[in-house]
Chains A and B, each alone.
Chain A
């Protein structure tokens, strides 16, 4: 029997029975961590950031290695031109001409140096086919370095005179048959003095001249590229109570494509900048969607829910994923779903898949560095892209007859992304070349407007294309 007095009871009961107060902000997190199957909000997407860092590190390492290592101009191989007296060209050649040593000759202006003709026995035709090399011991005064000088006899110049011919910018080698007719001795005539260093310098100067000529000219080219790309995303969640892994469990990437045209301007032989217009299709899929067919008095109603989730929504369907809410506006659809066995007697379930796609027109600004500049070019590029959304589609389908279309809400129209790529160019004519360019692109701004959950799409693929240089 309850007291009827209880007014003190009543006072407290009326005021405090429904009393509510906000618990501390971290209370849920502690509870969630104590529950079974609680997962910590690990950065499970850390691997992609590590991979991206490694790619950037390797890229910058390659760039700096090539930038800082000086262009080595190969020291010229001194090609000696041997003088042949025309009238000496009569008989077949001597096959071997071995030189054993060089006598020292420090006198630059010596005129006592004997001048030797190439033996009469050598004919020009056969000389050209001959590969007689004269190895000169590195004892000559004009060899400024310790390296032996390799001389190749492959140029024949005929002169009327029997005198030696001085080449202003080359050394002359002289063969001395006086000591031993069978073993001519060769020495470098000091005049004109052109040391190895000087030859190298002149060679370098020539090369620089050529390069400068190239630099003055600005190369323009236009290229088209297209190829497949795999796209997915990183999700960042500012709310600690909802782990990112919950999204990652149900979502996965899609294979789509990209392509475009760009114009490239090269001011130097190695650096160029590019801009153009591209098209890119990215997206993601949501697996483990179920359609529940509930039979009610007013007819069939359909709702979607994820496997192992209680969250469901009715048609018009409304699916939520990492990017936010996806709404569908097809309300009357014949549903033909592959029904699966279900323990839940109330609901029949079918498995469907959901996909969302975004299409962008993208405008890049790219800097390209050609670090191998031979017949086949290899280059590395990095750039910033401004992406304008032109398509936003979502599809839920059972792969048979059912399909409903919608779009994702709250997506930014303008986004920015950064890219890094490695390119290989293979010329097929003087102006045309084929290119193959694997790339990685990462969004720098989130694609959705939700302040709590940010989605950063990324994509990687290979573009192949053709480039035309003006």
Chain B
């Protein structure tokens, strides 16, 4: 019963529940993963997922077949996540003077424990650091773009990122120490 993605999109445009359900089933797990990264709690992640998909189905008429459809969905989901925290973010305008840290960390061990551990580290960040780190480091937005999206200055975005990195480095160090991995 799975059709081509174009058919599914077409069906969603016509508000066909069958197609909508298929779309959800195709993307919900990946999108929930995105939500979990941005949210401070699982409940918040569920809310973001819910609102995100409603937006997706509402805006699907505007999707033009350019670029990746998954990228388009992802952007909507990220936007939804940001909206939730835009007002909550206490953006602290810190002068960006903390030096760039130059540690190399092993990225070879990508097992599930690592993934979950990293996810929980991100969750422990306060919202403004978490969002900026997600947008810059994981989604790949520029500080300029982040500034526009969060309605903050580029400088604030940079300092938030820097702070987030620093915290995360400490956490990762701690984690690897505990794991007593060879090579560090």
Contacts and interface: CB of A to CB of B under 8 A. Distances in A.
- Do A and B make up one complex? yes
Interface of A: 2-3, 5-24, 27-28, 30-32, 34-39, 241-243, 246, 308-312, 320
Contacts of A308: 14, 16
Given A6-B137, A16-B119, A16-B122, A11 B21 contact: no
A5 B119 contact: no
Contact of B138 (A13, A34, A246): A13
A324 B114 CA distance: 43
B169 A310 contact: no
Contacts of A38: 17
Instruction: Give the interface residue-count category, chain B.
Output: 35 or more
Contacts of B85: none
B181 interface: no
Contacts of B17: 32, 35, 37-39, 242-243, 246
B137 A9 contact: yes
17 contacts: A8-B137, A9-B138, A9-B165, A10-B107, A11-B105, A12-B138, A14-B110, A18-B33, A19-B37, A22-B29, A31-B57, A32-B17, A32-B21, A35-B20, A37-B15, A309-B19, A310-B10
Given A8-B165, A12-B138, A31-B53, A23 B46 contact: yes
Contacts of B73: none
A31 to B, nearest CB: 5
A118 B17 CA distance: 95
Contacts of A16: 33, 37, 115, 118-119, 122, 138
A311 B3 contact: yes
Contacts of A2: 142
A11 B172 contact: yes
A310 B165 contact: no
Contact of A320 (B1, B11, B104, B169): B1
Given A35-B20, A242-B18, A310-B8, A5 B118 contact: no
A310 B7 contact: yes
Contacts of A5: 100-102
B92 to A, nearest CB: 20
A27 B32 CA distance: 11
B153 interface: no
B136 interface: yes
Interface in B117-150: 118-119, 122, 133, 136-138, 142
A39 B15 CA distance: 12
A13 B16 CA distance: 35
A14 B24 contact: no
B25 to A, nearest CB: 8
Enumerate the 3 nearest inter-chain pairs by beta-carbon distance, A residue then B residue, closest first.
A310-B11, A9-B137, A310-B7
B54 interface: yes
A28 B107 contact: no
A35 B57 contact: yes
Contacts of A35: 15, 17, 20, 54, 57
A315 to B, nearest CB: 15
A212 B53 CA distance: 77
A319 to B, nearest CB: 11
Most buried by B among A16, A20, A34, A35: A16
A32 B118 CA distance: 32
Given A12-B133, A19-B33, A22-B32, A311 B7 contact: yes
A132 B32 CA distance: 101
A303 to B, nearest CB: 10
B66 interface: no
B101 A19 contact: no
A318 B90 CA distance: 56
B68 to A, nearest CB: 13
B28 interface: yes
Contacts of A8: 101, 103, 105, 137, 165, 168-169, 172
Contacts of A10: 105, 107
Contacts of A24: 46
A151 B142 CA distance: 117
B154 to A, nearest CB: 12
A379 B122 CA distance: 77
Nearest to B19: A310
Contacts of A14: 107, 110
A12 B118 contact: yes
Nearest to B56: A31
A242 B21 CA distance: 8
A19 B53 contact: no
B118 A11 contact: yes
Given A15-B115, A23-B49, A312 B107 contact: no
B160 to A, nearest CB: 14
B50 interface: yes
B165 to A, nearest CB: 5
A23 B29 contact: yes
Contacts of A22: 28-29, 32
A363 B165 CA distance: 77
Interface in B158-177: 165, 168-169, 172
